[in-house]
Amino acid sequence: MDLAFNLLLTILVELPIVGFFFSKRKRRSALMVCLFVNVVTWPVVNIIRLSTDWDLNLVEIGVVVLEGIAYWFFLGRNWTKAALIAILANTASFLVTKFVHIGPDFFQKKTNIIR
């Protein structure tokens, strides 16, 4: 459950940050690219995190580089603006997912549901 919650947090944090950098006309395509890039990179990061002993900070730097390249390639931004978008969005989502956690007793168990 913790992994799904972290994916939800990542998407909820990064989408508004990426959308902020685009005009209303290009915002929809920017948000779709952001969602696609996160759906692709997020599982890769977690597979690496769970199956190897690599430093998570180095893996996140790789994600920032890949997302910056994706924003540059798919959205037509210059590389400095694409890098800035990727750095800000990933730093924010990294910090939020690092410090916001839900406990296992957060959700009700079936025996506690009132009918």
User: C-alpha angle 17/19/23, rounded to 5°?
Assistant: 135
How many whole angstroms separate alpha carbon 103 and alpha carbon 86? 30
Q: How far apart are CA 60 and CA 67, in angstroms?
A: 10
DSSP state of 1: -
d(CA 24, CA 31): 11
- Is 6 a residue whose pLDDT tops 80? yes
Q: List, for residues 29-49, the tens digit of each pLDDT value.
A: 999 999 999 999 999 998 998
Query: Nearest-CA neighbor of 68 among 82, 88, 80, 58?
Result: 82
DSSP letter assigned to residue 111: G
pLDDT in tens, 44-85: 998 998 899 998 889 989 999 999 999 999 998 899 999 999
pLDDT interval class at 114 (50, 70, 90): low
